[in-house]
Copies of this chain bind each other. A is one copy, B any other.
């Protein structure tokens, strides 16, 4: 689509921060590293439109021409993530406002309210001007709208937009009052004008209001995106359009809802774990992106930003060990990314991110990082033939609404959220050697033998039906605690938890027993329960494991319910990681699913891509010891056939396997 058959490789290039003599050196170095795509103009608004309506495109003309001459294609950004100072001075009402009513000022980035008419108008104007000028430039490979939509606002523009959105969603105030349970604490609305955004208030806020505000705001940002996209598409329908999303609990975006609106799902990924956790986070991020593309029917996805070097962890930067950048990049490509892009090409001398890592660091090209960048360019060039979906028979559900709702105040435990549970299940599968597809509830399940629902808190009736259909078709199911408790408005389903899935699971949960942070409750069969436990009453299922000691002594912790060809598991707690892995492995075995590469040693990640009768096996050795893997094929780096793969410490291999 965007490519020329090659995997994309490059990063954010900011020539506007450098004198022109550096540009030529940049192009030379890019060619040395086999860079083929650069993102340009992300934060260049104030250099493109220094005063309202006056454009200074000449430097960008030269940048695009220079790129084209150098054989490097451009992802051209609209610069709307950072309005220029003149905009803020002229439109103080378009500056964002916190829930406390503090108006944020210029001086960083993203100092706008996406619901402010003046901002939206200015954003359309600069996007339109770029479209007019560059839509047919031969270097242009991709439009990159905005950057990491991720801010929120509580100003009056936002409140008005929220009320409009609510009227559209709920139709009547009666429906809204019912959805939000406003009969609690005298919050019954009798006029739309009474509704505000969830500003700072005296005590706990209304969960329905909080949930709808997040949905509304994701839709508001999406509208800000689509109106730019439409302008760009109109100028040249042949050029694909996307926007890059970051992941994280602070990001007010339901990524899945955006997937159908982009021509390519793009994510930025910055793991914040130092040890093995960074690799596990990387695998999950890539699986999420692939899942969104699948959900949206989008023809692929791309890692748009990642860090050439440091990992930010607990506020500090941890320098990536040699080879780790390459392995992270390959982990994304193995899971379908159409390349590996970085923030950023060259480290700046100033600005807030002066110590963000770069392919060309402060020390210059005579550096470990740049040498590894050259190596990565070579490897990516060798992988052009790899194609097709990741091979797996396991689906893992992730749902933005469930994550938002579990983070609401007033939950039985403040330590629980959906995304952490998704990550725990994903990590357990990853360590056990299983690949999985991350799906959005309601997505088509075709080859998936096992469906895993980790703390899927919000289950609307249609979702419950989707789960029943999977089981009715012979699929297997594993559900963890806090799933199915609430409906789409975060209202609790009555009669015993987990209301929406109770019958299917063959259990009835009478009470929750949240655990303290350091509590460990033993389970029969080995292992321990953490964070959560429940009074589970059997209603068709049988106990696989029970709690040992305490008030739940002898009561079921994990249950199994066999229905026809299907086996349905319920896990009423968060088991420790090993136990979690054993449970998922057991469920996979019962479902007839095997690991990707059964003989791969621990710490060696294996991912298989398959297209028709061809398949490719990615092997990443995350350990600091040499490893051997019983896999055969043609090594794409050497072109040589191998019968058994020997991996250096931290080494990688990609095999073209004999057609399956």
CB distance from A420 to the nearest CB of B (A): 15
Instruction: Please encode chain A, from 509 to 532, with 1 for each CB lying within 8 Å of some chain B CB and 0 for all others.
Output: 111111010000000000000000
Instruction: Please encode chain A, from 176 to 188, with 1 for each CB lying within 8 Å of some chain B CB and 0 for all others.
Output: 0000111111111
Instruction: Please encode chain A, from 231 to 275, with 1 for each CB lying within 8 Å of some chain B CB and 0 for all others.
Output: 000000000000000000000000000000000000000000010
A523 and B494 alpha carbons, distance in the complex (Å): 58
Contact call A551/B322, Cβ cutoff below 8 A: yes
CB distance from A266 to the nearest CB of B (A): 20
Instruction: From B110, B204, B321, B511, give the contact of A368 (CB < 8 A).
Output: B511
Residues of B within 8 A of A413 (CB): 315-317
Contact call A514/B86, Cβ cutoff below 8 A: no
Contact call A103/B106, Cβ cutoff below 8 A: no
Residues 210-250 of A at the B interface (beta carbon under 8 Å): none
Contact call B514/A317, Cβ cutoff below 8 A: yes
Instruction: Please encode chain A, from 38 to 52, with 1 for each CB lying within 8 Å of some chain B CB and 0 for all others.
Output: 000001111100110
A349 and B489 alpha carbons, distance in the complex (Å): 10
The chain B residue sitting closest to A41, CB to CB, is B186
Indicate whether A447 reaches chain B with its CB closer than 8 angstroms.
Answer: no
CB distance from A547 to the nearest CB of B (A): 13
Contact call B83/A190, Cβ cutoff below 8 A: no
Contact call A190/B108, Cβ cutoff below 8 A: no
Residue picked from A184, A186, A489, most chain B C-beta under 10 Å: A186
Instruction: From B103, B183, B319, B516, give the contact of A101 (CB < 8 A).
Output: B103
Contact call A551/B508, Cβ cutoff below 8 A: no
Residues of B within 8 A of A490 (CB): 350
Residues of B within 8 A of A204 (CB): 108, 352-353
A208 and B107 alpha carbons, distance in the complex (Å): 11
CB distance from A34 to the nearest CB of B (A): 23
The chain B residue sitting closest to A354, CB to CB, is B492
A310 and B412 alpha carbons, distance in the complex (Å): 9
Residues of B within 8 A of A85 (CB): 187-191, 194-195
Contact call B79/A363, Cβ cutoff below 8 A: no
A108 and B196 alpha carbons, distance in the complex (Å): 12
Instruction: From B86, B107, B368, give the contact of A206 (CB < 8 A).
Output: B107
Residues of B within 8 A of A351 (CB): 181, 183-185, 206-207
Instruction: From B46, B104, B194, B415, give the contact of A200 (CB < 8 A).
Output: B104
Instruction: From B51, B109, B193, B319, give the contact of A202 (CB < 8 A).
Output: B109
Residues of B within 8 A of A369 (CB): 511
CB distance from A440 to the nearest CB of B (A): 25
Residue picked from A409, A410, A495, most chain B C-beta under 10 Å: A410
Contact call A102/B105, Cβ cutoff below 8 A: no
Contact call B364/A494, Cβ cutoff below 8 A: yes
Q: Given A89-B191, A205-B352, A367-B511, check contact A83 B186 (CB 8 Å).
A: yes
CB distance from A23 to the nearest CB of B (A): 14
Contact call B205/A109, Cβ cutoff below 8 A: no
CB distance from A476 to the nearest CB of B (A): 27
The chain B residue sitting closest to A204, CB to CB, is B352
Residue picked from A89, A184, A315, A495, most chain B C-beta under 10 Å: A184
Instruction: From B356, B363, B497, give the contact of A496 (CB < 8 A).
Output: B363
Indicate whether A36 reaches chain B with its CB closer than 8 angstroms.
Answer: no
CB distance from A78 to the nearest CB of B (A): 12
Indicate whether A579 reaches chain B with its CB closer than 8 angstroms.
Answer: no
Instruction: Please encode chain A, from 403 to 418, with 1 for each CB lying within 8 Å of some chain B CB and 0 for all others.
Output: 0000001111111000
Residue picked from A83, A180, A350, A514, most chain B C-beta under 10 Å: A350
Contact call B362/A318, Cβ cutoff below 8 A: no
Q: Given A106-B194, A186-B79, A194-B85, check contact A207 B412 (CB 8 Å).
A: no
Residues 89-127 of A at the B interface (beta carbon under 8 Å): 89, 96, 100-111
Residues of B within 8 A of A188 (CB): 46-47, 50, 84-85
Contact call A183/B16, Cβ cutoff below 8 A: yes
CB distance from A389 to the nearest CB of B (A): 36
Contact call B151/A202, Cβ cutoff below 8 A: yes
Contact call B410/A184, Cβ cutoff below 8 A: no
Residues of B within 8 A of A516 (CB): 274, 313-314, 316, 318
A319 and B515 alpha carbons, distance in the complex (Å): 9
The chain B residue sitting closest to A100, CB to CB, is B102
Residues of B within 8 A of A361 (CB): 510-511
Residues of B within 8 A of A190 (CB): 46, 50-51, 84-86
Residue picked from A189, A309, A363, A509, most chain B C-beta under 10 Å: A363
Contact call A203/B14, Cβ cutoff below 8 A: no
Residues of B within 8 A of A103 (CB): 101
Contact call B86/A43, Cβ cutoff below 8 A: no
Please list the 9 inter-chain residue pairs (A to B) with the smallest Cβ-Cβ separation, ordered nearest first.
Answer: A184-B351, A181-B350, A204-B352, A85-B194, A105-B199, A46-B188, A82-B186, A108-B201, A46-B186
Apart from the given pairs A316-B516, A355-B512, A363-B497, 5 other A-B contacts in the complex at a CB distance below 8 Å: A16-B183, A151-B202, A183-B351, A184-B351, A354-B492
**Which residues of A are interface residues toward B (Cβ below 8 A)?**
14, 16-17, 43-47, 50-51, 79, 82-86, 88-89, 96, 100-111, 151, 180-191, 193-196, 198-209, 274, 309-310, 313-319, 321-322, 347-356, 361-364, 367-369, 409-415, 489-497, 508-514, 516, 535, 551
List 22 A-B residue pairs with CB atoms under 8 Å apart, sorted by A's residue number.
Answer: A83-B186, A85-B188, A100-B100, A100-B102, A104-B199, A107-B187, A107-B201, A107-B206, A110-B202, A110-B203, A151-B202, A181-B348, A181-B354, A184-B351, A184-B353, A316-B415, A319-B513, A348-B492, A355-B492, A356-B410, A361-B511, A363-B495
